Copies of this chain bind each other. A is one copy, B any other.
Amino acid sequence: MIARTPEKFRETGIDVQLNTEVLSVNYAGKTVELRNERNIPFDILVMATGARALLPDLPGIEKPGVFTLKNLEDAIKIKTYLQEKKCRKAIIIGAGFIAMEMSEALQQAGIQTTILHRGELPANRWDPELAKLLLEELKNNGVEFIPHAETTAIEDGKDYPLCALSNQGKIEADLILLAVGVKPNVELAKEIGLTIGQSGAIAVNSAQQTSKENVYAVGDCCESYHRVSKRPVNIPLGDIANKQGRVAGRNIGGKPLTFPGVVGAQSFRLFNLEAAATGIDEKEAALANYNPVSILVWGNAIIGSLGLKKIGLKLIADKSSGKLLGAQAVGFAGAVSRINSLSVALWAEMNIDEIAYLDLAYSPFFSGAWDIIHNAAQALRRAI
């Protein structure tokens, strides 16, 4: 899909106001007040305020060279800075999927990159055994990973412009990227009096309607119904935002459509590795009143005689019903493919006995005759 330019929108009669800001919403009067003091009337209001990068409470984060990455403008700023300052060293604070993807991008651009992370392993969502493979891949590609690092301040450096202070010592760099998560932008929503869910994002129904009539919300600023936990969640991912946008548009335009919810599918690439996950983990499962049991199996994403494409797959199921609750995979091939198949299985509320005998497209280049999905489901059944 190609994003439309403001001009394209204007050609279709849609008024696009850029470089402005909605200062307030007069819900009763049905107008929004812009920064340039212009008031715009509305019949229907769509909140698509997105999310913003979390800023850790660190002295020095206002220094030039300290960045967050949430949108295209951020990316352009970082790229410009990297080029203008001829950067050689970067520090990333955090180890989620944005940190992982940026470590690859920076390293590939010839910039020596160090990750400072509070935890022991990258990618919290993945099981430690799988995260170890990600850690190895970071190291094999020259990215330094410093675990148990509580960053305390950013100061000026001696050899480089910046210095990150942490309980693991001082590290200098040209650039510091703060990648410790995002939070939904709900200030305006709160002012209007929209209901904010437990997740901190705007509560919506399956038509993307908020608690106030004629006000919709879509994307990173709102919640989604999680089909596995049966709870509203805030998952700030572009594919979900796209779907919600279309659902809201259809409902506003008079062609009703329901947003069916999410199962929590997610993926990223890290050098030669694929990481993907779906559903919920043991902790989330317990909170959702399931009785979780899990297994992690290692295998080859293809037939062994064709080479080694190591893959690890973890399945989480409900012990009582055998129902699949979640899956996590990391591998040199096929991890995303497996997680997508299992996302559909989650969507359809399949149990592991059914998954153990699913008909998948077998070919030596893409799987074994027993796929790792089958092996994992059968192993989990034996474990139960």
Contact = CB atoms under 8 A, between A and B. Distances in A.
A24 interface: no
Contacts of A238: 362, 369
A269 B361 CA distance: 11
Nearest to A244: B357
A347 interface: yes
A366 interface: yes
B259 A357 contact: yes
A335 to B, nearest CB: 9
A177 to B, nearest CB: 18
Interface string A230-247: 000000011111110000
Given A263-B359, A359-B265, A359-B347, A369 B1 contact: yes
Nearest to A274: B366
Given A341-B341, A358-B344, A370-B242, A363 B267 contact: yes
B269 A362 contact: no
B361 A266 contact: yes
A101 to B, nearest CB: 8
A274 B266 CA distance: 23
B366 A267 contact: yes
A256 to B, nearest CB: 12
A274 B241 CA distance: 30
A205 to B, nearest CB: 16
A90 interface: no
Given A337-B337, A348-B350, A369-B242, A343 B359 contact: yes
A144 to B, nearest CB: 23
Contacts of A264: 359
Interface of A: 1, 227, 237-243, 259-269, 274, 276-278, 334, 336-337, 339-345, 347-348, 350, 354, 357-363, 365-366, 368-371
Closest CB pairs A-B (n = 3): A348-B348, A337-B337, A239-B362
